[in-house]
Chain A
Amino acid sequence: MKRKDLILNLIGEISNYLLDENPMRLVVSLHQEEDGLHLCILDDNKHTEEEVETMRKALNSRKRPELAEYYGAMTGHDMLGSARLDLLGWQIKHSDVTQSDSGIKIDLWFGGERFQSDKFTIPDKE
């Protein structure tokens, strides 16, 4: 998939998810490198701890190449019904979901086979 299409689809799916709760502010920030990219998305809604945990679980689901290549084509595309973060989770290298007083912040790191995580300041896993 072309990088531009991929970025559009990723932004589409994550925005679809957050817009379901009708935030008054939604910020999408993109940082690209040669073989990877970092998306940061912020909204101004309060999310329950249970919802945040569900998001973390979906975005950090185990890698499923057999599903990502086929059903991953629906990411950010087929939006009738609930948004599905697991479609993103199968495709990303790492994600962080943090909640502050002003809203939620979702960091997503994507990359190819030569993806160098040190260029993207991904937090060390505990």
Chain B
Amino acid sequence: MEFSKSNIISFFLIFMILLFAVTAFVVDGRDALSGLGAVQHNPARLINDFFEIGGIGGALLNAAASGLVALVLIYVCGVSFSGPTFAAVFTIMGFGLFGKTPLNILPIILGVYLSARLVGKGLRDYLIIALFGTALGPLISVIALESGLPLWLGITAGVVSGTAAGFILPSLAVAMLHMHQGYSLYNMGLTCGFLGLFAASLLKAAGLPFDKALAWHEGGSTFLPLLIPLVSLLLIGTGIIHSGKKAISDFVNIQKHPGRLPSDFVDMEGTGGALVNAGVIGLAGSAIVYFTGSDFSGPVIGGLMTIMGFATFGTNLRNSWSVVLGVIVCALLFSMKLSDPGVILAIIFCTTLGPLAGQFGYLTGFLAGFLHLVMVSQTGSWQGGMNLYNNGFAGGLTASIFIAVIQWYRNNKSDM
């Protein structure tokens, strides 16, 4: 088999899935399987840490299974393994630790497929939307398990609702993309949040209470804090072995890109540099989590995996630091603890706004990060915690307001 760009990325993704699956059994033995079962029966709304629900082994196994679904889809559709697909698999595996399950993501994918067929396209054309659209997985789980319907009826209603949601996603995704013009990396977060608003309103009208959910794994494991740094070092090593010194120069060049969607760093600079960037972002993110004193819980590790994935598709150190600083300053100004679940997740996921800093400067990035934390503490309840990319939702809204103002200023300031 040719040692090509595609292959090294797909090999790494297969390795990650195997690593998670094997580690699950090493940590929890056979209990990992019962933990996996427990996770499938959870409504999975934000924030339900699967480490708490199904144990570390069950959660890791669920993440591996969810990642496998994504990997198989990419193979079947014949889409190349590159920045976007690397980001998608890492994101799905990450959220497999706190919300996505192999069962609750499938109806969404089916809906996107039906939508593609309606307009004479194939799933391949909408694969990115299908993979990231799985953020609405909890919609299926909530209707199946929390609606009060008999189980068979709840499951049927959940699958139908999830398929309907998936069906609408492609049209909404493009409309949302135009709102922020690609300056928020997690566009499907904005899309799913927008759709989640309607879904949650309907369910609230039907009498669902949407009680706050918070299951958060706290400390106690020496293994979890080491997981992401180890994977990061492996990514850096793989990048350097694959591309040699070019990996370092490509990594430096990646820092020069604003990162606006779609920025496939694998195509733009090279596979080695993109993998090194992913590893460096993973190390930087882990360091921040460590210094804030936060727990390496499922959502935190999931968040770190997401930004590592997006480090091949828009995130870099240069476009991220000012946004992260904005969130930290906002938290300190409003007396929030940096290690609180909502705050640490915002510190990690605010990098969705990196392209704003990359294109319009650090001050814009800082202000966007500041506003992001204020927004994200509200948006979760708006959509009942059913959109797993709540930071993507808040980030998309934040980017949209900045873009609207910048666009207005530039359009109206005469240069003739």
Contact = CB atoms under 8 A, between A and B. Distances in A.
Interface in B116-135: 121, 124-129
A67 B261 CA distance: 10
Contacts of A74: 177-178, 181-182, 261
The secondary-structure label for the interface of chain A is loop
Contacts of A70: 125-126, 128-129, 170, 173-174, 177
B177 A80 contact: no
B258 interface: yes
Interface residues of B, number: 32
Interface stretch (B61-69, B198-206, B331-339, B403-411): B403-411
A73 interface: yes
B262 A71 contact: yes
Contact of B84 (A66, A73, A77, A78): A66
Given A71-B182, A74-B181, A81-B181, A66 B79 contact: yes
B359 A78 contact: no
A73 B260 CA distance: 14
Question: Which of A62, A66, A86 has most chain B Cβ within 10 Å?
Answer: A66
B264 interface: yes
Interface residues of A, number: 18
A81 B260 contact: yes
B23 interface: no
B218 interface: no
A11 B246 CA distance: 36
A61 interface: yes
B182 A61 contact: no
A81 B359 contact: yes
B381 interface: no
B255 interface: no
Question: Which of A61, A64, A68, A82 has most chain B Cβ within 10 Å?
Answer: A64
A65 interface: yes
Contact of A67 (B260, B264, B359, B407): B264
A35 interface: no
Given A64-B80, A78-B178, A81-B181, A69 B407 contact: no
Interface in B365-416: 403, 406-407, 410
Interface string A68-108: 11110110011011100010000000000000000000000
Contacts of A80: 181, 403, 406-407, 410
B340 interface: no
B182 A78 contact: yes
Given A78-B181, A81-B260, A67 B84 contact: yes
B124 A65 contact: yes
B261 A71 contact: yes
Contacts of A71: 177, 182, 261-262
B267 A69 contact: no
Interface string B248-280: 000000000010111010010000000000000
Contacts of A61: 267
A103 to B, nearest CB: 22
Contacts of B410: 80
Contact of A78 (B77, B177, B258): B177
A114 B207 CA distance: 53
B83 to A, nearest CB: 9
Contacts of B181: 74, 78, 80-81
Interface string A24-54: 0000000000000000000000000000000
B258 A67 contact: no
A80 B402 CA distance: 11
Interface string B166-187: 0000100110011001110000
A81 B258 contact: yes
B178 A73 contact: yes
B406 A69 contact: no
Interface of B: 77, 79-80, 82, 84-85, 121, 124-129, 170, 173-174, 177-178, 181-183, 258, 260-262, 264, 267, 359, 403, 406-407, 410
10 contacts: A66-B79, A66-B126, A67-B84, A70-B126, A71-B177, A78-B181, A80-B181, A81-B181, A81-B183, A82-B359
6 nearest A-B pairs in the assembled complex, by CB-CB distance: A78-B181, A69-B125, A71-B262, A73-B174, A66-B127, A66-B79
Given A80-B181, A81-B182, A86-B267, 12 more contacts: A64-B80, A64-B82, A66-B127, A68-B125, A70-B125, A70-B129, A70-B173, A71-B182, A74-B261, A77-B178, A78-B182, A81-B258
